[in-house]
Structure 1
Amino acid sequence: MGVRPKVHREELAGAISRIARRRAAVDDVHRDRLPDAADSDPREVLRYLRQFSGTDIPRWVLQADVCDALILNNWLWWEDRRTELHFLLEGRRRGLFLDQLGAQVGVGKQGVRDRIDRLEALLRYDRPNEKLTRAARAAAKVADQRRTAEDTWIKNHQAMLRDAIAELLEQAGRLVADGEDREWLDELAVDTNAEGDLGRTIMPILGLAVDELRTSPAVLALPATRPPHPVHEALARCDALRGAFAAVTDKPVGRAQRRRSEAIGL
C-alpha cells in the first residue's frame, strides 16, 4: 500500500462541515448525534457515518460522504503516524530500553531505531525511508530547496494553472449556484483575480476547491458518459497539475495521475 495523500487542517475542517450540512438537510432522526463543529474529532464523525448510512439516506449524500470520509481517514492515518513517533521518542527520552519499546510494536532493538527513522522520514518527506532521515541530519537546507523548487514550478506554470482554474470555475459556475457550498471555489476565484503572479498558497486552495466541486450534489448526480462531462475533464486537469506539483518535492504520485500529467504536457 502506498503513502496516503497528506491532508491540510483546512481540508479536514471543510470535509466535516460538508458532511454536517448534507446530513442536516436529509437526516431528521439521527442528525443530533453528529459532531458538526469544524474541529470535531474525525473518528466520531466516521463512527456516525458508519452507523447511520442506511437506505433512508439519499444516494448522492452517501456518495459525497464517502469522498469526505476518506479525507478524514487520511488525516487520521497521518495523525496515527505522528502519535507513534511521539511516544517512541518520548520512550527513549524517558530512559526505556529499546527492547521494551520494541515489544510494544513487534520489533527488536534495531527495528525500533529503523522505525523511528522511517517515521521521521515519512513525516518530513512523505516517504517511509529511514535513509532519508539519516542523510538529512547533515542537510538542513532541504526545506529551503523544496520551497525554491515549488516556487519555480508555479512560476513556470502560471499560464497553465490559470487556464485550468478558469475552466474549473467556469464549470462550477454552471453547476453550483451562488449560496451553495462553494467557499473554496470563491476563494480560488479571488486569488486568481488578484494582481501579480500566483503564489505557493494557490495549490492547497486549488485542492480544497476541487474537493468542494467534486462532492457537490450537482456533480455527483451527473451520469458517467463518454466522452466525460466537461466538469470531470476540468477536475482531471486540476488533479494532474496538483500531481505534477507534488512530484516536484518527491511526493508520491499515482500512476493514473502521472498519465494525466503526461497527457496535458507536464
Structure 2
Amino acid sequence: MIASRRAKVDDRNRDRLPDSPRSDPREVLDYLQRFSGRDIPRWVLQADVCDALTLNNWLWWEDRRRELHFLKAGRDRGLFLSQLGAQVGTGKQGVLDRIDRLEALLRYDRPDEKLTRAARLAERAARDRRPTEETWLAAHHDELLAVVGGLVREADRFELLDEEREWLDELAVDAECEDFTPASMVILGLATAELRTAKAVLALDSSRPYAVHGLLGRAERLRSAFADIGAKEGRKQPALAP
C-alpha cells in the first residue's frame, strides 16, 4: 500500500523505499520519517501515518516475542536470574514475573502487561465467551448488514480499486451469506481502515462531517461493543487455585 501510493504520486525518493516482502519494517518506518516532506500530497501522508502505526504495532509484538525468547534462552543456558534481571532492570522475581506475563501475553494476544492467567483459565474464558459472542452477533445482525452494505456503497462511490478494498470485499461475502462470525468483526476493522485511508476520503473537507464518516463511526462503535464482551467476561471469571 505504501509503495503503490508513493508510486502514484511519483515520489522522487521512491527507489529508497524497501518494498520487498522480506523488507525490515523498521527500514520502512525510517523511510516514512525521512521522506515525508511538503512535496508529498497530504492524503498520502495521512494514509502513511495509519500504515506506520500498524507497522509499529507489529514491531511491538515482535519485540515482546524476541524478549521472551532470550529470557528463556538465558535460563536454558545457565545464566543466573540476577544476571538476566540486570539486563532488563529488574530483580530475580521480576524476571520470573516478566516471563510469565510475556508467555500469557503472546499466547492469548492480549496487550496487557498484567495478564497472568493460567492456561486453563484462559481456555475456559474463551469457551464461555463463545455463546455470548454468538448471541451478540445475532442481536446485531441487521445493523451489521446495514453497516457493511453502507461501507460497500461508499467504496463504490469513492471508486476504490480492487487492491484497495480486499478486506471490504471479504466482509461483503459474509454479509451476502448472512453469516457473521467473531472473525467478521476483525475483518470489519481492517475494512474500515481501507475506506478511512482511501485518497478520496482523506481529501474530504475535515471541517464538516460526511456520510462516510458517520458510517465509519457506526462500524467502530460496533467493533468496540463486540470487543467489550471479552473484557466483561474476563472480569467475571473467578480466580482458580494453582
TM-score, length basis structure 1: 0.78
Q: Does the Cα contact within 8 Å between 1:121 and 1:127 map onto a contact in 2?
A: no
Q: Deviations over 1:209-232 (max 9, x none)?
A: 111111100010011244x21101
> Structure 1 residues 180 and 142, CA, compared in 2 at 3 Å: closer, same or farther?
closer
Give secondary structure in 2 for the equivalent of 1:213: helix
**Partner of 1:166 in structure 2?**
149
**Partner of 1:215 in structure 2?**
197
1:129 aligns with 2:125: no
The answer to which of 99-108 and 31-40 deviates more is 31-40
**Partner of 1:197 in structure 2?**
179
Q: Does the Cα contact within 8 Å between 1:176 and 1:216 map onto a contact in 2?
A: no
Give the share of equivalent positions with the same residue, in percent.
60
Tell me the distance in 1 between the aligned counterparts of 2:215 and 2:28. Answer: 30
Q: 1:36, CA displacement in angstroms?
A: 1.8
1:54 aligns with 2:37: yes
Q: 1:148, CA displacement in angstroms?
A: 4.2
> Structure 1 residues 37 and 250, CA, compared in 2 at 3 Å: closer, same or farther?
farther
- Structure with greater Cα Rg: 2
Q: Which runs of 5+ in 2 are unaligned?
A: 233-242
Q: Does the Cα contact within 8 Å between 2:160 and 2:198 map onto a contact in 1?
A: no
**Partner of 1:249 in structure 2?**
230
The answer to which of 137-146 and 151-160 deviates more is 137-146
- Root-mean-square deviation (CA, aligned residues, Å) is 2.1
Q: Which amino acid aligns with 1:164?
A: V
**Partner of 1:240 in structure 2?**
221
Q: 1:138, CA displacement in angstroms?
A: 4.5
After superposition, residues 22-61 of structure 1 pair within 5 angstroms as 22-61=5-44
> Structure 1 residues 39 and 159, CA, compared in 2 at 3 Å: closer, same or farther?
farther
Q: Which runs of 5+ in 1 are unaligned?
A: 1-17, 252-266
Q: Which amino acid aligns with 1:82?
A: R
> Structure 1 residues 198 and 138, CA, compared in 2 at 3 Å: closer, same or farther?
closer
| Structure 1 segments (4+ residues) deviating >6 Å | none
Give secondary structure in 2 for the equivalent of 1:141: helix
Q: 1:56, CA displacement in angstroms?
A: 1.4
Q: Does the Cα contact within 8 Å between 1:149 and 1:249 map onto a contact in 2?
A: no
Give secondary structure in 2 for the equivalent of 1:207: helix
Q: Which amino acid aligns with 2:149?
A: A
> Structure 1 residues 83 and 237, CA, compared in 2 at 3 Å: closer, same or farther?
same
Identify the match of residue 88 of structure 2 among 105, 113, 123: 105
Q: 1:29, CA displacement in angstroms?
A: 2.5
> Structure 1 residues 91 and 154, CA, compared in 2 at 3 Å: closer, same or farther?
farther
**Partner of 1:15 in structure 2?**
none
Tell me the distance in 2 between the aligned counterparts of 1:231 and 1:170. Answer: 10
Q: Which amino acid aligns with 1:218?
A: A
TM-score, length basis structure 2: 0.85
> Structure 1 residues 149 and 39, CA, compared in 2 at 3 Å: closer, same or farther?
farther
**Partner of 2:137 in structure 1?**
154
Alignment length, in residue pairs? 229
